[in-house]
Structure 1
Amino acid sequence: MQDDSRLTELLDELSQLGTEAQDADRGDLDLLGTAELVRRMNAEDQRVPPAVAEQSVEIGRAVDGVTDRFRRGGRLIYMGAGTAGRMGVLDASECPPTFGTDPSMVVGLIAGGEAAIRSAVENAEDDEHAATDALRDIEVGELDTVVGISASGRTPYVISGLRFARERGALTVAIASNRGSAIGAAADIAIEVVTGPEFISGSTRLKSGTAQKLVVNMITTLSMIKLGKTYRGMMVDLLATNEKLRARSIRTVSTLAGVGTAEAASALQEAGGSVKLALLMLATGSSAAAGASALESAGGILREAIAALR
């Protein structure tokens, strides 16, 4: 009887969620031709960016909070289950090669652990203790920001994680696809991007997942810009870990410094592969040692380091 009661309660909860709703206009999808299916799905996807734009103020608050804590040595920690968890893990994994960050600076935690990145793990999203255990293991604290991601906004793993993080003094942010979400109530900042019924009812890897990707991209990218990880709209702290990135480093230095690729490659070699240091040396004629010292004094902000050496 208790299980039946909980099932009834869950069915009622799901019936209230826009992400679980069925759009009456899409009952004939299986009867449509491929071209029309593409058109309709693309039209539905176009609803996502305006919905994200409606949350610009809250996203901005999150970016400022994350940036402030980064400057004080804090971390950004994503938490989620299923698609939402994978979005956090993906964004975290892209930060070191893109912005030259330490892997511990942006962390992705997913319900069910690493196995859940590739495969579904039964009941992982309902495991409240797993969230608190994971945050306790990495010693979450007041310098950190914990971002909980859940399309429904009611995932127990995320709710418990946000509550625990808040108790530890961390800044907490919720990313949901429904208004008045439980994770939003558990967080300091609620980013609720209302994307409406999915193209396939309840498949939140679609519009909800796209919205999550756009928001986490903004949080890391904009905070990294504010930390001086870019210069004139280009990446200057990237790690050249493969041929493509090495070529991109040369192209970046060549473009921003206005020199040929051979001179850019030589400056990069002298700078130990650091795009930012190579640019500083070319802009000011300083040595690698003097340039490195100036960058450290400027907190890694290339513009300030250039101004200081001129």
Structure 2
Amino acid sequence: MEEHLHSLTTEMRNEGTMNIDRMDTMGIISAINKEDLKVAVAVQEVLPEIETAVDWACESLKKGGRLIYIGAGTSGRLGVLDAVECPPTFSTTPDTVLGIIAGGEKAFVHAIEGAEDKEEFGERDLIEVDLTANDTVIGIAASGRTPYVKGALRYAKKIGAKAVALSSNKNAIITEAADIGIEVVVGQEVLTGSTRMKAATAHKMVLNMISTATMIRMGKVYENLMVDVHVSNQKLKERAIRIIETVTDADYEHALNMLEKAKNQVKPAIVMIKTSNDYVQAMELLEKAGGDVRKAISIGED
């Protein structure tokens, strides 16, 4: 096991930063920046695999299933972070995109020793959220060998859920346990083995792509506007009004009035203005269009 660990790209020493402890501040941050520039290129190499993950996630949501991230340590935190941003951004329910971290919620702010070392813990945590074959599970582990994630993916695949392994090493162990592997190889870290750096940055980018592309495909975006934003505070209400103004050319007062008539929902407010319908009619159009604003407007104008 130790020999295998030393062979991982994420655990090898970076020849370009051997003397980083002798550098001044500008030298250190320049070295970090130079390495970070490699991340987006590495992500580009795995776009086909990311595409598959998005397609599977869309299929899951259309069936009433969920997109579930699971990981330990930094990897688990990244999954939770992406998941909790979906309700305010896209008005999803809290369990539509779910983040699970080894050791539970307390592990988000405090390291839980040994939480990632047992495969059965990953399986157990998926059982506890009633995983079904309609769900898509993305197991995240920079090393690609975390037992907790491996166990979770094996269980997901066993019951018929889609299983995606996200790692930063080629031929990762967790890929073998999944239906597909997204192996974003960013190379050696500035600090040997510190995968909270390039590997984590790459994984954050991938998770952003997966959740955002999935929500776009699910009709939660019109043009490039977040028309399903959850209006939960004044800042978001102002954003909602600006979106309505932008799409419909309505003035501020009319946009505000229609937003309130639409029960603070941007999508029906836009459809109401664009098709000259009331709230009930706008909601009926959106239902016919599967939540897609562009389609709802087209149906309403016919």
1:257 is aligned to 2:248? yes
AA in 2 matched with 1:41: I
Which of 4, 7, 24 matches 1:16?
A: 7
Which of 257, 267, 283 matches 2:274?
A: 283
- Contact kept, 8 Å, 2:121 with 2:151, in 1: the verdict is no
Q: Which stretches of structure 1, 4 residues or longer, exceed 3 Å deviation after superposition?
A: none
CA shift, 1:127, in A, is 2.3
AA in 1 matched with 2:205: L
AA in 2 matched with 1:29: I
Q: Show the counterpart of 1:4.
A: none
- Where does 1:1-310 land on structure 2 (aligned, <5 Å)? 10-310=1-301
CA shift, 1:134, in A, is 1.2
Q: Deviations over 1:71-120 (max 9, x none)?
A: 11110111100000000000110000000001111111100111110011
AA in 2 matched with 1:280: V
Secondary structure at the aligned position of 1:248 is classed as helix
CA distance in 1, matches of 2:104, 2:90: 25
CA distance in 2, matches of 1:159, 1:128: 6
Structure 1 residue runs without a partner (length 5+)? 1-9
Aligned residues: 301
Secondary structure at the aligned position of 1:220 is classed as helix
Secondary structure at the aligned position of 2:116 is classed as helix
CA shift, 1:24, in A, is 2.2
| Identical residues among aligned pairs (%) | 45
Higher alpha-carbon deviation: 130-139 or 86-95: 130-139
Secondary structure at the aligned position of 1:124 is classed as coil
Secondary structure at the aligned position of 1:255 is classed as helix
Q: Deviations over 1:137-188 (max 9, x none)?
A: 1111110000000000000000000000111100000100000001111111
TM-score, reference length from structure 1:
0.96
TM-score, reference length from structure 2:
0.98
AA in 2 matched with 1:107: L
CA distance in 1, matches of 2:252, 2:112: 49
Higher alpha-carbon deviation: 11-20 or 127-136: 127-136
Secondary structure at the aligned position of 1:103 is classed as coil
CA distance in 1, matches of 2:115, 2:217: 36
Backbone CA RMSD of aligned residues: 0.8
AA in 1 matched with 2:129: I
CA distance in 1, matches of 2:213, 2:122: 27
CA shift, 1:266, in A, is 0.7
- Contact kept, 8 Å, 2:17 with 2:31, in 1: the verdict is no
Secondary structure at the aligned position of 2:70 is classed as strand
Secondary structure at the aligned position of 1:190 is classed as strand
